[in-house]
Structure 1
Amino acid sequence: MIKRIKGTQDIYLEEMKYWHYVESAVREVTRLYAFQEVRTPIFEATELFKRSVGESTDVVQKEMYTFEDKGGRSITLRPEGTASIARAFVENGFINLGAPMKLYYMGPMFRYERPQAGRLRQFHQIGIETLGSSHPTADYEVIEFAMSLLKRLKIDDAKLYINTVGCEKCRPNYKQALRDFYADKIDGLCTDCKRRYDTNIMRLLDCKVDSEVAAKAPSIHSYLCDECSKHFNELQELLKANNIDFEIDSRLVRGLDYYTKTAFEIRAESLGSQNQIIGGGRYDGLVEYIGGKAIPAVGFAAGIERIIMVLRSMGIKPETEEIASVAVLPMLENAFTLAFEYARRLRKRNISVFVDVMERNLRNRLKHASRIGTKIVVIIGEEEIEKNLATVKVLDTGSQFKVDGDFMASFVEEKLMEL
């Protein structure tokens, strides 16, 4: 038997209800906040991610699915969504459509890493991006959106953590302070920290292995330029004024090179160590890095699998989805033509219909109709064909009616409204 690839999953039946629940909430909140959907390819030129995410990051160095296509081009399955949105912004001339551009996406991402709970090789993200505004109100709205989404999903154990990672003006001094701090400690650090010391020094702050050392490292807040300090303070004031609780985490740096100024995470305490469900921040240089004009931007991404883990841990169950409101059961070989005609009439009234195409007795047909959530069945046998009738049965009550075939659709519609 051919099996699915390690680190991927099949999503079906009961599990699918959670996905529909999350996706429906995303679409509703994006509508309320006036974000427009963008769909980008699942593979891009490798250079896009090297240039935007950063060649020294774990994503680029260890986790990307990269291959050479038949034209000799280096192609990478997208490991995250923001770089693709920025590329689409530049390539399609979104800058000419006015600012800010408020965009969102949903779809699969790919990273080659050790599969574990909430971490797959093919995973799915939702994300929003606001491009064009450098003001902290844009940062605030993105965070408010994230909190509104979780509220709509009934996730109430999530906590917001914020930080600033500075900018190109003040970050070099902070990086040097970190190198000085870690210089005499490097031999005792983990393998990843030893590598990051030379390539991505700020990532040492969020190392889970050497967290006790990181806790004593200097804080970036002592090295911020006036612009970054002002931006961060204004964001805090906005959050306070709008009653959004938060905690400052000076070790929160995020794992991608394009972040500037604001960085934030929302963590679900119920998930333990793998508790981040939403992460984002500002990336004012990204559009310029990939060949566009200097456009400020801010956004976040959330893992759908992680969100569903939280829903399950909290005992939140989406409402049962009915597959069809009505089942049409043709009991004879020559009843199928009429069965499909009845189904067409019902569907014109926006009623979902399941036509049973199996050869089995009435008892088993009724049993299956009940299993898929059907409320009413329409039975077509010999008498129904001869006399232009339909036998309508309401499953919950067991009540049964003989109805003229010409009035079947309106009768079923009325019965559904009564249920």
Structure 2
Amino acid sequence: MKFQAPKGVSEYFPERSIAFEKVRRELISPAKLAGYKLLELPVFEDTEVFTRGVGESTDVVSKEMYTFEDRGGRSITLRPEGTAGVMRAVIEHGLDRGQLPVKVWYSGPFFRAERPQAGRYRQFYQVGIEAIGLDDPAIDAEVIAIAEAGYRNLGLTKFRLDITSLGDSASRAAHREVLVKYISKLDLDEATRARVELNPLRLFDDKREAVVKMMAGAPLLIDYLTPQSASHFEKVKKYLDKLSIRYAINPRMVRGLDYYTGTAFEFVHELLGAQSGLGGGGRYDGLMESLGGQNLSGIGFGLGIDRTLLACEAEGIDLTSQSRPDLYVIPLGEEAKDFSIKFIDDLRKNGAIVDCAYGDRALKGAMKGADKSGAKFAIVIGDSEISSGIGELKNMETGVTSSVTLSAINAKSFN
């Protein structure tokens, strides 16, 4: 029997795993520079963390969660998103009782039982950040700027930023009243009508053509913002302008999770087709309280590593070149291997990426290995090189060789 990975799982192995690692690192880097610290979370939680936190009207909770009963009879769910679990951890460990805002980042696999397609997987990977404890529009701008910087670090250019405001509770109450009246006149099926009763905003997120047409004239939440919500949103836009971050107002954006309030945003890539969302996030005012904590506001994002990698590939961005070995060492004979083990270790400690022709291969086969490794340089070490202390360093791209003193080789020798 030949085993295969489960359907809908995207695995990453060399050379593509090198690009995956690069994407993850670059998306996290701006968060670290802004003072966000790692929060390592379990990949499963009590199911109620998500039903209460994410919202029962969402597709995530109603259709897509991997939920099972453990041996103790507890209902457990593989995490479909990151924010609810972060909030549970913040409450449990009292992080909200210290310096505010609490600023954390996380990354890892997430799970949703949906129909697999390009850019949409049952196990997918995200980088996320959360800033919890203060309702400051400047933090909204910081969170958006961190995401934008991550994409720019990778060299992406063909994406846009959509933003909107989902308002405060008074804004949503005023909008809900007129929206429900509008929706009551629509010809909806029973299942859709049931979702509307839980959260009428979900219809704005419905991608079915018939529903999109029916919702074309629906009242928009952004037109019902209270003065306080409108002022907050204006300040967010002002700060984004100060940061020279371009954006478009998308008043129909509601995001896929019920906890969002106030500022909401999404990054969309023009070359990814139907699954064009790279990542997004927003503010959540009532989430902590709904999970048994203080009534503190927060804002965060989740950026898809899988889709960001697809976007880089679509734009022709090479993410693997920097991982090439600097040097490929070819020892000839047992004495040369003894010498090379220490020689290679010293170079690695000096910061060089060094590989070796293991397996006592003949020179011809070892040189083929050097070529396949993608190394920038190769060096053959035999008895004469050890006795003289001098070797021939070969540039694998140009084929040019140069005599070098072995003890003088360091990480800078390969630049």
Does the pair score TM above 0.5?
A: yes
Residue type at the aligned position of 2:78 = L
Match of 1:165 in 2: 166
Contact persistence 2:269–2:277 (CA under 8 A): yes
Contact persistence 1:322–1:373 (CA under 8 A): no
Match of 2:264 in 1: 263
Match of 1:278 in 2: 279
Residue type at the aligned position of 2:193 = K
Pairing 1:16-415 to 2, within 5 Å after superposition: 16-187=17-188, 193-209=192-208, 210-333=211-334, 335-381=336-382, 387=387, 391-396=391-396, 397-399=399-401, 401=403, 408-410=406-408, 412-413=409-410
Contact persistence 1:36–1:104 (CA under 8 A): yes
Q: Secondary structure, in 3 states, of the residue corresponding to 1:329?
A: strand
Match of 2:413 in 1: 417
Contact persistence 1:53–1:257 (CA under 8 A): yes
Q: Secondary structure, in 3 states, of the residue corresponding to 2:281?
A: strand
Deviation at 1:242, TM superposition (A): 4.0
CA offsets per residue over residues 349-402 of structure 1, 9 Å max, x none?
3333323222432111011112213234343445567x486744324344265x
CA offsets per residue over residues 322-358 of structure 1, 9 Å max, x none?
4432333233356543332332333343333323222
Query: If the length of structure 1 is used for normalisation, what is the TM-score?
Result: 0.89
**In terms of mean alpha carbon deviation, does 275-284 or 90-99 score higher?**
90-99
- Determine the C-alpha separation between the residues in 2 that align with 1:45 and 1:409: 58
Deviation at 1:40, TM superposition (A): 0.9
Residue type at the aligned position of 1:196 = R
- Determine the C-alpha separation between the residues in 1 that align with 2:186 and 2:25: 49
Residue type at the aligned position of 1:413 = N
Residue type at the aligned position of 1:34 = G
- The sequence identity of aligned pairs, in percent, is 36
- Determine the C-alpha separation between the residues in 2 that align with 1:244 and 1:388: 59
Contact persistence 1:322–1:374 (CA under 8 A): no
- Determine the C-alpha separation between the residues in 1 that align with 2:269 and 2:125: 18
CA offsets per residue over residues 242-300 of structure 1, 9 Å max, x none?
44332222211111111111111121222233221121110011111112111110111
C-alpha change, 1:362 and 1:144, in structure 2 (3 Å) is: same
- Determine the C-alpha separation between the residues in 2 that align with 1:322 and 1:158: 26
C-alpha change, 1:266 and 1:342, in structure 2 (3 Å) is: closer
Query: If the length of structure 2 is used for normalisation, what is the TM-score?
Result: 0.90
- Determine the C-alpha separation between the residues in 1 that align with 2:389 and 2:233: 72
- Determine the C-alpha separation between the residues in 2 that align with 1:375 and 1:80: 41
C-alpha change, 1:153 and 1:381, in structure 2 (3 Å) is: closer
Choose between structure 1 and 2 for higher RCO, CA contacts under 8 A separated by at least 6 residues: 2
Deviation at 1:319, TM superposition (A): 5.0
Identify unmatched segments of 5+ residues in structure 2.
none
Deviation at 1:119, TM superposition (A): 0.5
C-alpha change, 1:315 and 1:328, in structure 2 (3 Å) is: closer
